[in-house]
Structure 1
């Protein structure tokens, strides 16, 4: 009818949504679009689709206004991937978006700010402030995409989600002596070297897992880091000793983030004994790298560069408390004049 064919399908069954859609194909242009039928019953969906087809409701209209939340989020994921966003970040965003699966069939143009706020609070109010705020960033960024790139909405529909205040606390770190003790308890040479890359070069776990021997040349470690950014990090003498110890050969291919966490926790507990505080993560190696640099008197700008923080504010906000010892030595310099 009018060059339009319609079939009913479930588009987001894997995400837990049972809503049926009309798959509308223009036989002249070959274009395909989906219209939510807002029912979870197949028979009802088929009857509704037939009625809508007879009434001409599937005739070509403004396609943007018909894009559903599920479709828009799929496009946003592709957009992030094309921008070079790390796959782990995309997966994190996807896990947040899945909690909105009940709205996947609703056209983005019809979603109200109050609906987004209510759904967000229902899904994330019980989580920690950090998790809540990260989820907020994910949803707001998606609706910014709908606003600025797809130009579907006149304002960011997620704008009413408030930011939650985070109670800041000093992050714990391991001293150089404690790190050495943990490395000595590593199950094998691969684990030891992986942890060394984080503790002595400041790599993130997903960066360390990808390091290969050919990435080290001319005294530098060459990595593609967060946000697909290239970094060139000097190989220190401690790291060189670890590489020599490993024979400049390793294989991290069988490691997963979770297996690494389990191994770190077990080895830290054995190595530190009564000094073990119960917290042992992959990221603590990287945090300890920066903390030990500051404690050793490294310039905070150098720490920022080695940590590859976007701003000095980020570095100061995390590590400035470790510089308190510099205050006393600084004031004493007046006495030496």
Structure 2
């Protein structure tokens, strides 16, 4: 029996995404009894979402994170769709992820806490350089956890790495002498990203002075090759790394909500404000499409408007 609506899905979808979408469309037809027109509408929304995921290098449902769904919401704002169509498209995504979790097609529901982005809030929040430096200053000290925190924070800001990429980095991926790190992004895509002297010094202190002691605590005879380790000598988890960022933001008394992705936003925004070419920033961030990177050009434009409005004598 033909799966109604499935013919609207794009050919470039991975097998896992296609199976997930088709299962959901079947449930709409046979369990909820929706009309063919409604199912087609859902199929078109899922097709749009699947195309975007593919462009971002995401081919497995387990790779979709909350930040991914939020980024897709921002993408919809710039898609030219009418507000009602954008809202419907995001609802379709949220309902699909709820279904995928309930059917054990995915380990989590990354869309459960994502709300439709407001027109006035479409730009990602970036920290100022003063705020970044205030967070880095909270990790100054000689305690092992402080040295590890400083290394992680410096590397996140220096490279724009996703938190999953940072904790997934191995020692073999790091070249402190050349100031280069190999990051593995979504879909296993590899990229080489440079970092500066501040990050090199912080990461070097962690690798030479603290990491060996933590690695010695690992129960296995061969310690993990992970760059960042926890107190048990095993790879630092994403949750623990996120907590390090949160603790630094609280210690620096930053009012705005700060996450590891905020460092990524700040990295991109500060590069563009400093005159970096958008294609270079795209490569550094590991974006499959420059359209995603263009979000940050809007951040820079907003900054320019603010500076102009407060500085030019005839701006008002």
After TM superposition, the score normalised by the length of structure 2 is: 0.52
C-alpha distance after superposition, 1:55-102 (max 9, x if no partner): xxxxxxxxx55x899xxxxxxx98238x9xxxxxxxxx97x999x599
Label 1:326 to 1:102 Cα distance change in 2 as closer, same or farther (>3 A): closer
Structure with higher Rg: it is 1
C-alpha distance after superposition, 1:194-250 (max 9, x if no partner): 232221111011111101111013542112212221101123222212222213543
**Structure 2 counterpart of 1:80, from 16, 33, 36:** 16
Q: Is the 8 A contact 1:291 1:319 kept in 2?
A: yes
Aligned residues: 215
User: Is 1:215–2:173 an aligned residue pair?
Assistant: yes
User: Is 1:228–2:188 an aligned residue pair?
Assistant: yes
Distance 2:281 2:305 in 1: 16
**Deviation for aligned residue 1:185:** 2.5
User: Which residue of structure 1 aligns with residue 119 of structure 2?
Assistant: 167
User: Which residue of structure 2 aligns with residue 267 of structure 1?
Assistant: 248
**Deviation for aligned residue 1:301:** 2.9
User: Which residue of structure 1 aligns with residue 257 of structure 2?
Assistant: 279
Q: Secondary structure, in 3 states, of the residue corresponding to 1:247?
A: helix
Label 1:168 to 1:315 Cα distance change in 2 as closer, same or farther (>3 A): farther
Label 1:166 to 1:176 Cα distance change in 2 as closer, same or farther (>3 A): closer
Q: Is the 8 A contact 1:182 1:267 kept in 2?
A: yes
- Where in structure 1 are there 5+ consecutive unaligned residues? 1-63, 70-76, 84-92, 122-126, 141-163, 330-337
User: Is 1:238–2:192 an aligned residue pair?
Assistant: no
Question: When you count strand as a share of all residues, which structure comes out higher?
Answer: 1
After TM superposition, the score normalised by the length of structure 1 is: 0.49
Label 1:232 to 1:111 Cα distance change in 2 as closer, same or farther (>3 A): farther
Q: Secondary structure, in 3 states, of the residue corresponding to 2:294?
A: helix
Distance 2:259 2:158 in 1: 15
User: Which residue of structure 2 aligns with residue 308 of structure 1?
Assistant: 286
Label 1:103 to 1:111 Cα distance change in 2 as closer, same or farther (>3 A): farther
C-alpha distance after superposition, 1:155-190 (max 9, x if no partner): xxxxxxxxx885252322223332232133245333
